[in-house]
C-alpha cells in the first residue's frame, strides 16, 4: 500500500524535477557553438534518478518554501553532478564507455568536446543559479530572499570544490594510482564523504536555506545528507559485486578490475549491507525528529538502501 502510494508520488515528483531541469538547459543561440551545447544536453538528458534536485525540492517544501527561487538551484545541482560524471568517465580517469546504458559523452562527441562540455556544465550551473535573483526582483521581501540566495550560492560552491566533491575525487584518483593496499577505513570514509556525500548534503542544505529554515534545521539537513550519501555510495559498492549489468546500465565488477578498495573489500558484502542498514536507520531516526510531513522522505531513504540500480 505504502509502496503503491509513495511510488506514484515519486513518479510525479520526478516528472516535476525533470521539467524544471529541461527548462533551464541552454537553448540554441544560432551561433557556431552548437556541438558543445549538444554534448551538454546529451549528458543532461541521458536520464538518471535526479536524486539531488529531488532532495532539494523535498527539503525546500519541508521548511515551507513556496517560490520559484529553488528551481534554478535544482537544475544547477544536477548540472554539477553531470559535469562530474562526464569528467570521471574520461580516459584520463575511469575510461568508461557506458553510463546508464548509453555511450558516455566522450564516446559520442570525442574527448576534447567532452572535456569542454563538462567545464561548460559546471560553469552553466552557476549561470543558472544566478537566475534565482531574477525571481526576487521587485518583491517586498527581496532583500531577505537575496540573502538566502547568496548563502545558497556559497554552499553550492563549497560542497562542489576543494572543500567538497572535488577534494574527494582528487584523493580517490591519487589512491587508485598508488594501489589499494594503502587505503584504510578512515581514508575510505573521507573519500566517500567528500566524493559522494557532499553533493547530497548540498541540495538538502540549500533547500532549507532557500526556505529560510533555522540554522539548526540547515545543520540537520547536512547531517542527513552525510548519512544518505555514505549509504548510497556503499550500496554502489555492493551493486558492483551483486548487481545486474543490464539493470545497472554499466558493467559490474569494475572495482575488482581496477583493484579499488571499497566497503565490500574492507567489510565483505554482508558487512557492507549492515553498514547501509545502520546508516539508513540513523537517517530515518533523524527525519522522525523533523517537524512536518517527512513520510515520503523516509520512504525514499529506505528505498535507496534497497535499490538494485
Residues forming contacts to its own copies in the complex (CB under 8 A) are: 26, 29, 31-33, 35-37, 40, 83, 87, 90-93, 110-113, 115-120, 122-124, 126-127, 130, 133, 143, 146, 150, 153-154, 157-158, 160-163, 166-171, 173-174, 177, 187, 190-191, 194
* Closest to 166 measured CA to CA, from 131, 138, 194: 194
Q: Which C-beta is closer to its own copies: that of 166 or that of 211?
A: 166
Q: Which C-beta is closer to its own copies: that of 50 or that of 83?
A: 83
Work out how close the CB of 149 gets to its own copies at its nearest, in angstroms, rounded to a whole number: 9
Q: Which C-beta is closer to its own copies: that of 103 or that of 249?
A: 103
Do 307 and 248 meet the contact criterion of CB atoms below 8 Å apart? no
Work out how close the CB of 51 gets to its own copies at its nearest, in angstroms, rounded to a whole number: 21
Do 301 and 278 meet the contact criterion of CB atoms below 8 Å apart? no
Work out how close the CB of 296 gets to its own copies at its nearest, in angstroms, rounded to a whole number: 32
Do 33 and 1 meet the contact criterion of CB atoms below 8 Å apart? no
Q: Which C-beta is closer to its own copies: that of 160 or that of 294?
A: 160
**Alpha-carbon separation of residue 179 from 106, 234, 248, 251, 267 (angstroms):** 26, 20, 26, 22, 18
Work out how close the CB of 33 gets to its own copies at its nearest, in angstroms, rounded to a whole number: 4
CA angle in degrees (0–180, nearest 5) for 304-77-85: 75
Q: Which C-beta is closer to its own copies: that of 177 or that of 215?
A: 177
**Alpha-carbon separation of residue 187 from 161, 209, 227, 229, 280 (angstroms):** 19, 30, 17, 16, 21
Work out how close the CB of 113 gets to its own copies at its nearest, in angstroms, rounded to a whole number: 6
Helix (H, G, I), strand (E, B) or coil at 99: strand
Amino acid at each position: 500500500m505504502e509502496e503503491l502510494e509513495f511510488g506514484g508520488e515519486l513518479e510525479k515528483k520526478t516528472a516535476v524535477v525533470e521539467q524544471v531541469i529541461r527548462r533551464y538547459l541552454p537553448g540554441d543561440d544560432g551561433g557556431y557553438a552548437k556541438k558543445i551545447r549538444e554534448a551538454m544536453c546529451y549528458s543532461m538528458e541521458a536520464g538518471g534518478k535526479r536524486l539531488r534536485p529531488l532532495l532539494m525540492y523535498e527539503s525546500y517544501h519541508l521548511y515551507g518554501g513556496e517560490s520559484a527561487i529553488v528551481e534554478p538551484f535544482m537544475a544547477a545541482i544536477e548540472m554539477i553532478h553531470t559535469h562530474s560524471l562526464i569528467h570521471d568517465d574520461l580516459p584520463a580517469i575511469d575510461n568508461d564507455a557506458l553510463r546508464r546504458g548509453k555511450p558516455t559523452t566522450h564516446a559520442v562527441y570525442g574527448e576534447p568536446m567532452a572535456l569542454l562540455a563538462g567545464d561548460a556544465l559546471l560553469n552553466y550551473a552557476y549561470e543558472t543559479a544566478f537566475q534565482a535573483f531574477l525571481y526576487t526582483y521587485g518583491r517586498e521581501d527581496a532583500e531577505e530572499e537575496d540573502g538566502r540566495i547568496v548563502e545558497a550560492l556559497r554552499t553550492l560552491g563549497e560542497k562542489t570544490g576543494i572543500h567538497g566533491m572535488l577534494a574527494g575525487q582528487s584523493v580517490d584518483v591519487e589512491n587508485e594510482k598508488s594501489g589499494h593496499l594503502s587505503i584504510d577505513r578512515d581514508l575510505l570514509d573521507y573519500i566517500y564523504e567528500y566524493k559522494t556525500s557532499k553533493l547530497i548534503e548540498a541540495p538538502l542544505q540549500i533547500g532549507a536555506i532557500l526556505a529560510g529554515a533555522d540554522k539548526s534545521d540547515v545543520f540537520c539537513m547536512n547531517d542527513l545528507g552525510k548519512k544518505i550519501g555514505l549509504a548510497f555510495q556503499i550500496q554502489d559498492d555492493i551493486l558492483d559485486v551483486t548487481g545486474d549489468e543490464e539493470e545497472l546500465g554499466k558493467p559490474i565488477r569494475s572495482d575488482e578490475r581496477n583493484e579499488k578498495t571499497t566497503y565490500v573489500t574492507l567489510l565483505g558484502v554482508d558487512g557492507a549491507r549492515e553498514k547501509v542498514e545502520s546508516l539508513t536507520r540513523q537517517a530515518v531516526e533523524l527525519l522522525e525528529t523533523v517537524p512536518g510531513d517527512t513520510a515520503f522522505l523516509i520512504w525514499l531513504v529506505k528505498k535507496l538502501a534497497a535499490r538494485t540500480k
